[in-house]
Amino acid sequence: MTSIAVIGGGSWATAIIKILSENNVSIRWWLRDRAAVDHIRKHHYNPDYLRDVRLSPRKVKTFTKIADAINGAEYIILAIPAAFVQEPLSGLTPQHFAGKRVVSAIKGMIPTSNCLVTDWVEDHFEVPISQISVIAGPCHAEEVALEKQSYLTIASTDAACAADFSQLMSCRFVTANPLTDLYGVEYAAVMKNIVALTCGISHGLGYGDNFQAVLVSNAMQEIRRFVDAVDPRERDLSASAYLGDLLVTAYSQFSRNRTFGNMIGRGYSVQSAQMEMKMIAEGYYAVNSIFDMNKKYGVEMPITEAAYKILYERQPPAAEIGALKRKLR
């Protein structure tokens, strides 16, 4: 039986636990909310996210201290939005991570340093990069809860590491495939959130499917330019880890980033949209990180720039999407 610590109590953590529970695993789940822990111990479902997902008390144990959750675990899965992942892990040291594999389920960047979560884990906790992987691919927690057929990609620089964890993340309704393009997959996952957010803004402004199709096609080219500049290597961006993830997030009713953008397009301020949404839209933070990073690379990125001007320079969405409109082909 494989022992796996899951860090984070939101929708994606809950969905990942549902997938893993289909296999021969023992799950050590850390949530920051004491009341949620008590509730799960008593009622065997998460009171705040995906309430329909039943949690096996035999397989899933909850913890209020991270060090206890990761004690004895072979894998540590991080499933907290990137903007908030540092604080709960701040009491941990490289010793806590020694000999363990780390999996990032996070599609975001550490905002204070603009670094990928996997780079942060490697630097901060001295985990060899070959022992780190990411969970990627087009997969919404809500559809996992409904057991709708889904596909994931597990990316690691080490093929065996990716293959091993792919097995654990495959079940009746999920097929997980390994890939060795760790950085390409991770950057693409961060950037698709920016695109979904911009799709949402356009939709909120009244733009239709015709416009969105062109926006998404241009976005794929923007992702290619940026990823090639940051981590040049042969990769097939039409694979589901890249294009598939972009499509699901840009078009799905479940997308947090699209929903957030839609509110901005309809006139909400960033703060009021964040307050109204019960979940976190990673894209808001990603816009700032990627925009900032690109000062070094100088890649042509009209979509990210438009999103940055709207979200961080408070430029009117209608004017910025209007200007973007003239740059799309």
Ligand X SMILES: NC(=O)C1=CN([C@@H]2O[C@H](COP(=O)(O)OP(=O)(O)OC[C@H]3O[C@@H](n4cnc5c(N)ncnc54)[C@H](OP(=O)(O)O)[C@@H]3O)[C@@H](O)[C@H]2O)C=CC1
Residue closer to ligand 13P (CB basis): 26 or 198: 198
Q: Which listed residue (61, 192, 309, 327) is catalytic? A: 192
**Residue 107 marked in a binding site:** yes
107 near ligand X, judged by CB under 6 A:
yes
Report the 3 state secondary structure along the chain. Answer: CEEEEEECCCHHHHHHHHHHCCCCEEEEEECCCHHHHHHHHHHCCCCCCCCCCCCCCCCEEEECCHHHHHCCCCEEEECCCHHHCCCCCCCCCHHHHCCCEEEECCCCEECCCCEEHHHHHHHHHCCCHHHEEEEECCCCHHHHHCCCCEEEEEECCCHHHHHHHHHHCCECCEEEEEECCHHHHHHHHHHHHHHHHHHHHHHHHCCCHHHHHHHHHHHHHHHHHHHHHHCCCCCCCCCHHHHHHHHHHHHCCCCHHHHHHHHHHCCCCHHHHHHHCCCCCHHHHHHHHHHHHHHHHCCCCHHHHHHHHHHHCCCCHHHHHHHHHCCCC
**Residue 141 marked in a binding site:** yes
Mask: binding to ligand 13P, 29-68, rule CB under 6 A, as x and -? ----------------------------------------
Mask: binding to ligand X, 127-166, rule CB under 6 A, as x and -? ------------xxx-------------------------
Considering only residues 74 through 113, tell me which ones interact with ligand 13P, judged by CB under 6 A. 107
Shortest distance, position 100 Cβ to ligand X, whole Å: 20
Mask: binding to ligand X, 16-45, rule CB under 6 A, as x and -? ----------------xx------------
323 is in the binding site of which of ligand 13P, ligand X, none (Cβ under 5 to 8 A by kind)?
none
Considering only residues 71 through 100, tell me which ones interact with ligand X, judged by CB under 6 A. 79-82, 84, 87-88
278 catalytic, yes or no?
Answer: no
246 near ligand X, judged by CB under 6 A:
no
33 is in the binding site of which of ligand X, ligand 13P, none (Cβ under 5 to 8 A by kind)?
ligand X
186 near ligand 13P, judged by CB under 6 A:
no
Which residues carry out catalysis? 192
